[in-house]
């Protein structure tokens, strides 16, 4: 039986739905043996209790984080793996990035309210690593916004569509967030002894119009160790885009290691679930062993 791994999972410590313990349970249910929780700008999911529980269930955990960064062209997510969870400089920087998120929350909430939307700002402020996804979900799921949403969209949008039309750069509720560059995030990860991986390059192609030359320049500037080439992208029309062959070839050509992740947030019947079970993946046990070996070095 082929081993299953998933190195990009979110919990309710950022914008996921499941607790860290529930993520382990889901991994067990899906036959996954190695996982990484890569919450946004936080490692709060990691505790002695989690590691002990995972070990009791036969699950190996490789510590991870997903750092939100910004270039001149678009936002970029940088994944860090197998770093020192006790590195004070690293933890302090993550904390400062989370504080920026709350400044961002209040700025966006003000603009959304000016546009006529109701935002539960005080409730959102209780989320330590609050994200665009939290804010947009709050808006689209609030019955008080139904009339406004129908007026603007003609239907009740999902959170991703709301972000793309209302919150992203060039949109009416866009707020610039003070953040770090991909290179700065990479340096921070390396400072804590970790490996640097560019998250889901396929997403930047379809969401931000980046071409191969842009990605090459990005990974070179970051001095990235690898890319998340084994990733199923789901567009706003719920179409799944499988470009594993393209990005694995890109990795080979650019002498980069490869990684694999579902980017799981919640079970919705649309996006890949933990372990990417039921997705068209062609990774062999040798491929998976190679990924795990370099991440564990």
Domain presence at residue 9:
yes
Output the pLDDT for position 135: 96
Collapsing DSSP states into helix, strand and coil, what is residue 272? coil
Burial class (CB in 10 A: 0-12, 13-18, 19+), 9: buried
pLDDT classification of 2: cutoffs 50, 70, 90: low
CB-based contacts of 209, cutoff 8 Å, min separation 6: none
Domain presence at residue 163:
no
Output the pLDDT for position 176: 85
Domains contained in the chain, number: 1
Domain presence at residue 47:
yes
Q: pLDDT higher for 281 or 94?
A: 94
Please, what is the average pLDDT of the chain? Answer: 94
Residue 113 reports pLDDT greater than 60 = yes
pLDDT classification of 226: cutoffs 50, 70, 90: very high
pLDDT in tens, 241-285: 999 999 999 999 999 999 999 999 999 999 999 999 989 887 889
Domain presence at residue 207:
yes
CATH code for the domain of 245? 3.20.20.140
pLDDT in tens, 145-161: 999 999 999 999 999 89
Output the pLDDT for position 297: 78
Collapsing DSSP states into helix, strand and coil, what is residue 59? coil
Residue 127 backbone phi and psi in degrees, to 5: -85, 120
105 touches 135 (CB < 8 A): yes
Domain presence at residue 249:
yes
pLDDT in tens, 42-80: 999 999 999 999 999 999 999 999 999 989 888 899 999
Domain that holds residue 291: 4-84+194-295
Domain presence at residue 202:
yes
Q: pLDDT higher for 15 or 264?
A: 264
Residue 128 reports pLDDT greater than 80 = no
């Amino acid at each position: 039986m082929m081993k299953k791994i998933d190195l990009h999972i979110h919990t309710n410590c950022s914008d996921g739905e499941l607790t860290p313990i529930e993520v382990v349970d889901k991994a067990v249910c899906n036959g996954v043996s190695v996982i990484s929780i890569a919450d946004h700008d936080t490692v709060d999911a990691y505790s002695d209790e989690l590691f002990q529980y995972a070990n009791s269930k036969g699950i190996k955990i490789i510590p991870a984080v997903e750092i939100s960064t910004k270039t001149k062209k678009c936002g970029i997510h940088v994944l860090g793996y197998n770093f020192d969870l006790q590195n004070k400089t690293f933890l302090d920087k993550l904390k400062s990035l989370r504080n920026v998120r709350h400044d961002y929350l209040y700025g966006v909430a003000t603009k959304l309210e000016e546009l006529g939307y109701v935002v539960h700002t005080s409730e959102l402020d209780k989320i330590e690593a609050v994200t665009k996804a939290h804010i947009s979900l709050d808006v689209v799921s609030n019955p008080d916004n139904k009339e406004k949403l129908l007026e603007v969209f003609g239907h009740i949008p999902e959170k991703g569509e709301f972000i793309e039309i209302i919150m992203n750069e060039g949109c009416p509720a866009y707020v610039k967030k003070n953040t770090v560059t991909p290179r700065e995030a990479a340096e921070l990860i390396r400072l804590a002894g970790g490996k640097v991986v560019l998250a889901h390059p396929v997403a930047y192609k379809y969401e931000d119009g980046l071409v191969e030359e842009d990605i090459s320049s990005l990974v070179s500037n970051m001095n990235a160790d690898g890319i998340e080439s084994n990733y199923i992208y789901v567009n706003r029309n719920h179409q799944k885009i499988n470009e594993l062959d393209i990005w694995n070839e890109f990795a080979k050509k650019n002498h980069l290691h490869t990684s694999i992740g579902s980017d799981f947030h919640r079970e919705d019947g649309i996006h890949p679930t933990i372990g990417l079970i039921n997705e068209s993946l062609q990774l062999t046990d040798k491929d998976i062993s190679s990924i795990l070996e370099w991440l564990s070095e």
